[in-house]
Amino acid sequence: MTTFATKAKITIILLFSVSVIYVSANQSGPPPASTGAPQPNGLPPELTCNQAGCHNDRPLNPDAKGMITLSGVPDNYIPGNRYTLQFSITHPDSDRRRWGFQLTAITRTGFARAGNLAVTDPASTQLRPGGRDGTRQYY
């Protein structure tokens, strides 16, 4: 086999491998720390999902028909109490079936992890550690 043919085959294999990695890169959810949340000590904020490359190949909010709803928010927050919040994402177009978001809970001052997040629907949600110091939770 000639050197050119060998190089061509290696290039094709590498391109295919990179394509497979790219296609499956976010199959298990976005990388942690893709919320745009502020950081302590004057550091720049986390990247947003769009900035992190999760879905920067199309418009972030292509139309105004999609809706994110948050329910279960108490009128008054009491530290130490447990709250169950429910997020729902809807769109009237039937071809819009896949959605996602990421959130973290941080304190207003210091931007440290605030409380504990818990998964109530493991079939469609996940909880991942992360952040600059590894102590934040991402849902």
Q: Which residue has the tokens 């109530």?
A: 120
Q: How far apart are CA 69 and CA 59, in angstroms?
A: 21
pLDDT tens digits for range 7-36: 444 444 444 434 333 344 456 677 788 888
pLDDT tens digits for range 66-88: 888 889 988 988 888 888 888 88
The pTM of the full predicted model, rounded to 2 decimals, is 0.66
Contact 85, 73 (CB under 8 A): yes
pLDDT tens digits for range 91-130: 888 887 777 778 888 888 888 888 888 888 888 888 888 8
